[in-house]
Amino acid sequence: MHVETPLIESMSLSASAGAQIFLKLDAVQPTGSFKARGVGYACVEHRKRGAQRFISSSGGNAGLAVAYSGRRLGVPVTVVVPKTTTQRAKRLIELEQAEVIVHGESWHEANAMALTLLDASSAFIHPFDDPLLWTGHATLVDELARQTEPPDAIVLSVGGGGLLCGVGEGLKRNGWNEVAIVAVETLGADSYAQALAAGKPVLLPAITSIASSLGARQVCQQAVDLAREFQIESVVVSDAQAVAGCMTLLDEHRILAEPACGASLAALTQKTSVLARAKRVVVVVCGGVGVNQRQLLDWDAAFRLKT
Ligand SMILES: *Cc1c(COP(=O)(O)O)cnc(C)c1O
């Protein structure tokens, strides 16, 4: 369901960071984000087990990946989204021939409704908290292991922690246990930073960041447990920094991605203890379709005005 993505060395980012920076370009997945990996794998497995319908409650990249996988596998898909979901997001999911049901004011209500649709012949595809998903996301590291020597650090964004868990699984299954992980979030969506500080998942009262794909109010338990097995450094950037990261990616590499992804590029400008020491760094360019050039330029202009 996913494609093998390029790994490129960014000469411009390397020059400003003072280290070798490689970009793993998952923005070029057919669904625009890395979600194609884990969601695709989960859908294939559920299909093998006899599922005749896939159900999702994500109006974002996860829902789109379920819709895409369902179309490719010939399995009908229903995505329940809240009223706040943009026309554009609904259209992208419908273009993948999935049924979109709009229900409730927030994701919580849409999700509750989605769960009532479940029966013995359908499978619910969770956006981040599912071992099947992590096993699929781990293919990102399998590819890295074919493309390069082990880096000193991998930089990635954290929403609910599915990508993080998948990369952890991939590092383990490739024997790359010494690679440090830099886990990046935006302020207002920093559920992982708070979970690491508390030693257990913490429920944020609300999400106040524009990086909607990082907007899980609580990370999965496995993401917290992983910090016992790997050196994981949590980094929190501002929305303005995340948008600046998107602008850098666009200007230097002509790739448009969400602030959820720009956050990881923004982390390179922070001299964290891991990044200050690392000589070779892989940044997961996780992508995201929830942005267009107009939106990005509007955010950029708004943040420039404020500073
Ligand atoms: C889903 C997503 C994330 C966060 O991934 P989690 O597995 O929820 O941690 C980050 N960026 C993009 C573009 C996403 O779609």
Q: What value does the mean pLDDT take over residues 69-96?
A: 95
For 35-128, CATH gives 3.40.50.1100
The finding on whether 163 has its CB within 6 A of some atom of ligand 1 is yes
Quick check: do 7-34+132-306 and 35-128 share a fold? yes
| Tens-place pLDDT, residues 242-269 | 999 999 999 999 999 999 999 999 999 9
Q: What is the pLDDT of residue 105?
A: 86
Q: Report the C-alpha gap between 119 and 53 in whole angstroms.
A: 9
Return mean pLDDT, the chain: 96
Residue 271 scores a pLDDT above 90: no
Which ligand 1 atom sits closest to the C-alpha of 223? 9
Domain residue limits, the chain: 7-34+132-306, 35-128
Q: Whose CA is nearest to atom 11 of ligand 1?
A: 260
Q: Does domain 7-34+132-306 have CATH number 3.40.50.1100?
A: yes
5 and 31 Cβ atoms separated by less than 8 Å: no
Q: Report the C-alpha gap between 140 and 262 in whole angstroms.
A: 19
The finding on whether 261 has its CB within 6 A of some atom of ligand 1 is yes
The finding on whether 158 has its CB within 6 A of some atom of ligand 1 is yes
CA atoms within 13 A on the CB side of 295: 13
Residue 198 scores a pLDDT above 90: yes
Across 123-137, b (16+ Cβ under 10 Å) vs e yields bbbbbbbbebbbbbb
Residue 307 scores a pLDDT above 80: no
Separation of CA 40 and ligand 1 centre (Å):
15
Q: Report the C-alpha gap between 183 and 31 in whole angstroms.
A: 23
182 forms beta bridges with 155, 233
Residue 120 scores a pLDDT above 90: yes
The finding on whether 288 has its CB within 6 A of some atom of ligand 1 is yes
Q: What is the pLDDT of residue 92?
A: 96
| Tens-place pLDDT, residues 166-182 | 999 999 999 999 999 99
Q: Report the C-alpha gap between 212 and 261 in whole angstroms.
A: 11
122 forms beta bridges with 53
Residue 32 scores a pLDDT above 90: yes
Mutate to test the pocket of ligand 1, among 5, 163, 249 (most ligand atoms within 8 A of CB): 163
Q: Whose CA is nearest to atom 13 of ligand 1?
A: 288
What is the signed CA dihedral for 93, 125, 191, 4, rounded to 10 degrees?
A: -70
The finding on whether 157 has its CB within 6 A of some atom of ligand 1 is yes
Which ligand 1 atom sits closest to the C-alpha of 38? 7
- Which of these, 85, 127, 88, 119, lies nearest to 102 by C-alpha position? 85
3-state DSSP call for residue 216?
Answer: coil
